[in-house]
Amino acid sequence: MPKVKITTDRTFIRGVPAIKGEVYEMSQEEADILIANGFGEKTIIKRARTAKGQLMADDPSTPDVNEAWVGGKAPRKKK
């Protein structure tokens, strides 16, 4: 299921007003409609980098945020 970052506060997700800047997980059909109408943009999961371009490591003192990934969450591992 794709994740979409909402770019406006004038849309609803599952009957509830969406918050601008939040990322929501939804079906592919819903994501395509939101992106096509300009209400959201597809999120891309990628590794965080330093100013020199080196990969960043995760800080173990912050268990709720993963600094090694842009957005703060690592992707799920494939089986």
The Cα 58–Cα 67 span in angstroms is: 5
Across the range 30-52, mean pLDDT stands at 89
pTM of the prediction?
Answer: 0.59
Q: Where residue 38 falls among pLDDT bands split at 50, 70, 90?
A: very high
Task: Compute CA distances 35 → 1, 2, 17, 43, whole Å.
Answer: 14, 11, 17, 11
Residues near 9 by beta carbon (within 8 Å), at least 6 away in sequence:
17, 18, 19, 20
The yes-or-no verdict on residue 66 having pLDDT over 90 is no
The Cα 13–Cα 79 span in angstroms is: 30
Identify the DSSP state of 46. -
Q: What is the pLDDT of residue 52?
A: 94
Q: What rounded mean pLDDT belongs to the chain?
A: 88
The yes-or-no verdict on residue 63 having pLDDT over 80 is yes
